[in-house]
Structure 1
Amino acid sequence: MRLTGLAAAAALMLASSPALAQGPAAQPEAPWYPSRYGPDDQIGAMNLLTPEKVLEAARLVQRGQVYRLGVPVGRDTPAFPPRSAAVTVMMPDQFGGALVPGATGPSENRMSYADDMFTGWLGVGSQIDSFAHLGIDNRFYNGNHAHDFMRTTGVTRLGIEGIPPMVTRGVLVDMARARGKPMLEEGELITADDLRAAMRDQGVEVRRGDVVLIHTGWVALLEQDPPRFGKGEPGIDNGAADFLAGLGVVAVGADTWGVEAVPFKNPNRIWEGHQTLLAKNGIHILEVMDTRALARDQAKEFLFVLGQPLLKGAVQAIINPIAIR
């Protein structure tokens, strides 16, 4: 197609002007480090978990009802590629039914035992993300650069073992109920306005130091359709992550494997919510939380308890937190 007059001139301007050819120039990002808790801080929003906050949360226990929020993890658990996990059980030195030896021969009490070995990734099933998990241009929470602390033998800062026990008030936002269906769809977005509306309608108040869990119904696919569970998910967008960060929460979780909506609305902007929560605000992310029982009972608030495994230098950990009402 031939260009004439103004059309040819406009095409020439676009070709010679990168700013015009690529659209408006990107605005420089606002500084996001050092942290509001100080340039040496490594625990982020967990600074908000004071003894007073723990006592506030403990007063929520009225029924003695306990909810398991973790899911069983095994060889068939769908996970973000290339992650997998496997347990191998062995009975060392007991081949063919042999007994464990005592001091001078087979044990008189005929002792047998089994051991197990875990082989896999720590980001499978129900998990917590440390601040060393995801960053921005090789910088992680509080501006820590990967080359300063990232080692194949384990991170030297921001590791799982440095996260204090998480004992606080938890709240549930039931987005499936808010949308009048048992389960949201792949890629279905939850915006800040959606969260505000659901919280208002369900009487959910978020306070500083809380853990916020979002129920979408997606976790049911772990049993009903595991391949579909791992291929996509409903979830928050970056605006919702920013909204939750502004409320002063210590962790954001969901019954999905990544908390954010996948496929991404813009496939060239990926896991921005993780960047906002982990890197910019020091807020932990809890994935694959089994919120079904809480949603069934329409629980709005509860005591949330998590003591993660103290795996030195790990950036994630498989967890099983509990909610108590």
Structure 2
Amino acid sequence: MRNAFVLCCSVALLGTVGTASAQDWTKSKWGPNDEIGAANYMKPELVVKAAGLVKTGKTYALGIPVDSKTPAYPPRAFKVTIVQPGQAGIPGLGPTKTTYNDDIIEGWVGVGSQLDGLGHIGVEHVYYNGNKLADFADPTGLKKLGVEKVPPMVTRGVLLDMAAYYNTDVVKEGTAFNVKEIEEVAKKQNVEIRQGDVVIFHTGWLSLIGKDDKRFGAGEPGLGVEGAKYLTGKGVVAVGADTWGVEAVPFETKNVFEVHQILLTMNGTYILENMDTAELAKDKAYEFLFVLGQPRFKGAVQSMINPVAIR
């Protein structure tokens, strides 16, 4: 099967936008100046309620370690170089002979666990809230919708264990989670999806890294089109998964990354990719306090992240 990572350059969208203009489809319910989308759902009272979920104090790192071998969407790559600037030929700096290491990162932001910002995906070069590519995208950084605008995400997190639902360790690629599957899993786990939540799917897919990288990148199970509409209708802040692209690949239709369009472009709902959900699933931690303060790279499209789940 052709690597699904290459499909980003394919033509999609006609079936998505129909006869309506892209700008109509991407308007924000929070007004013409809105740049944070579904983050508007997060209110102080929701933070207080989410904090009440902490009973044991156990924490879970949802980010994965990243190095030059981490599989990523081509042509993305990443490496770290360690240097000791200005220290060649000397025992150290000053009377105490201080030495230090620094690091240089070379690579793409969209490697490993990442937050997709609202400037990432568009419809016919129109992005969230009617922002046209030519008006806001610049090689030196986005003029709007940069990840630095995203407020801290402190809210209720919900894990939907799809691997348990399908009674498998790793859900098959191309498996789409739509309304039926989402509602059945939520009912089985006795959790309710609410406005302001972060919803994360566990599929076991991340376990393929280092064991079968080729399969990992060639497809994935994930959110379906109707499932995306269902979750955005619920008013969730973000949707994540232990997969590289969150949505089902091969795609359900000929449309390319349509779920990304529904979430990011049309609803301002953030995407969290490559979330490490294994321990949450093992502990059956289906609801928790979700905390994310992403690096605020000004004008960036994405951000490497390590969210924390707390029970």
Specify if TM > 0.5. yes
The equivalent position to 1:141 in structure 2, one of 109, 112, 128, is: 128
Q: Is the 8 A contact 1:218 1:255 kept in 2?
A: yes
Please name the residue that 2:297 is paired with: 311
Please name the residue that 1:66 is paired with: 59
The equivalent position to 1:35 in structure 2, one of 28, 36, 48, is: 28
In the alignment, structure 1 segments of 5+ residues that lack a partner are: 1-23, 102-106
Q: Which amino acid aligns with 1:62?
A: K
Please name the residue that 1:99 is paired with: 91
The equivalent position to 1:51 in structure 2, one of 34, 44, 47, is: 44
1:87 Cα deviation (Å)?
0.5
Alignment of 1:242-253 (within 5 A): 242-253=229-240
The higher relative CO (CA closer than 8 Å, separation ≥ 6) is in: 2
The equivalent position to 1:213 in structure 2, one of 196, 200, 206, is: 200
TM-score in terms of structure 2 length: 0.91
Q: Does 1:272 align with 2:263?
A: no
The equivalent position to 2:267 in structure 1, one of 268, 278, 281, is: 281
Equivalent position SS for 1:277: helix
CA RMSD of the aligned region, Å?
Answer: 1.5
Looking at structure 2, the residues matched to 153 and 254 of structure 1 have their Cα atoms a distance apart, in angstroms, of 30
Can you list the C-alpha shifts for 1:246-283, whole angstroms capped at 9, x where unaligned? 110000000000001112233x3110000000010010
Alignment of 1:225-236 (within 5 A): 225-236=212-223
Q: Which amino acid aligns with 2:216?
A: F
TM-score in terms of structure 1 length: 0.87
The equivalent position to 1:189 in structure 2, one of 159, 166, 176, is: 176
Can you list the C-alpha shifts for 1:225-263, whole angstroms capped at 9, x where unaligned? 223222211111111111110110000000000001112
1:54 Cα deviation (Å)?
0.3
Q: Does 1:82 align with 2:75?
A: yes
1:167 Cα deviation (Å)?
0.2
Q: Which amino acid aligns with 1:217?
A: G
1:88 Cα deviation (Å)?
0.5
Stretch moving more, 145-154 or 199-208 = 199-208
Q: Is the 8 A contact 1:278 1:285 kept in 2?
A: yes
Equivalenced residue count is: 294
Change (3 A) 1:293 1:38: same
In the alignment, structure 2 segments of 5+ residues that lack a partner are: 1-14
1:196 Cα deviation (Å)?
1.2
Identity among equivalent positions (%) equals 51
Change (3 A) 1:300 1:108: same
Alignment of 1:102-121 (within 5 A): 107-121=94-108
Please name the residue that 2:160 is paired with: 173
Please name the residue that 1:293 is paired with: 279
